[in-house]
Amino acid sequence: MTNTLHRYGDANSFHDDYVVFAMCARGRNDQDALPKLRKFLELALPFKPVNLGDASHGGALRPSKNMNPLSHWKRDYAPDLQAVVNGLDQLTTVAAVFDNRPAAEDFVKAIKAADLGLSINISTSIDGAEQCCHAAGIARHSVGYSLGFEGKREKLPSSQVLALSTMCGHGMVSHSLAQKMLDWVKEGRRTPEQAATYLTRFCSCGVFNPARAARLLSTTNTNTNGE
């Protein structure tokens, strides 16, 4: 089970969204697990992840306490992946997010070779996850399905808003912020890439995918009835 299970969209919408987690179990394999978790993050760097996550401190793009009205016009939009690696100082869940399957497959192969002794979870479409396992020569252990939304779906936000906001499984990216970013991109006030970084900073565990977000933000057709 993972907080990324409820990312909104059909299977095809996750062709650029692969989240690979590592975690340990208290009292089972947590002894000396901190360097193993750090090694997991380090192994991801050569495969160019679009985000790294430390559930205790955040991702490669984080909010800043030193803000003023001019900050938005000169803000650094580059994710700091190394800061996530360097900042890991306690046992937690860590994750690497990729925007293409070859990179995710190669990373899973590297994890298998490293034999870290940690639990590994892949969050994407079922086919995408199985392809990653197949590339690494391992069998899928289990699978989790999200059954989606039931009930009065007409009260839901648009499908574009849901696809953006549900990329933060802890609900830290609000529907209203996602809609605001969609509006700003339509009005030409921000590029899709800039708006994606704004959303990414609010994800407290670092599993938000800015590449998928930029793609979704660049699609201007929205539907207001939640479909």
Q: What is the pLDDT of residues 186-216, one digit of tens each?
A: 999 999 999 999 999 999 899 999 999 999 9
Q: Which amino acid is at 47?
A: F
- Separation CA 49–CA 209 (nearest Å): 10
115: Cβ contacts below 8 Å, ≥ 6 apart: none
* pLDDT at residue number 227: 44
The sheet with strand 119-123 has its strands ordered as: 58-59, 51-54, 94-98, 18-23, 119-123
Residue 227: inside a domain? no
| % of the chain residues with pLDDT over 70 | 93
- Is 175 among the domain residues? yes
In a domain, 1, yes or no: no
Residue 36 inside a domain? The answer is yes
Higher pLDDT, 74 or 89: 89
Domain holding 66, by residue range, is: 11-217
Question: What does the pLDDT look like over 90-135, one tens digit per residue?
Answer: 999 999 999 999 999 999 999 999 999 999 999 999 999 999 999 9
Domain assignment present for 3: no
Q: Is residue 89 part of a domain?
A: yes
Supply the pTM of this predicted model.
0.90
Burial class (CB in 10 A: 0-12, 13-18, 19+), 29: middle
**Averaged pLDDT for residues 136-144:** 90
Q: Residue 75 — φ and ψ, nearest 5°?
A: -75, 145
Please report whether residue 2 resides in a domain: no
pLDDT value of residue 182: 97
- Give the pLDDT of residue 225: 41
**Three-class SS of residue 19?**
strand
pLDDT at 68 over 90: no
Does 6 reside within a domain? no
User: For the chain, what is the domain count?
Assistant: 1
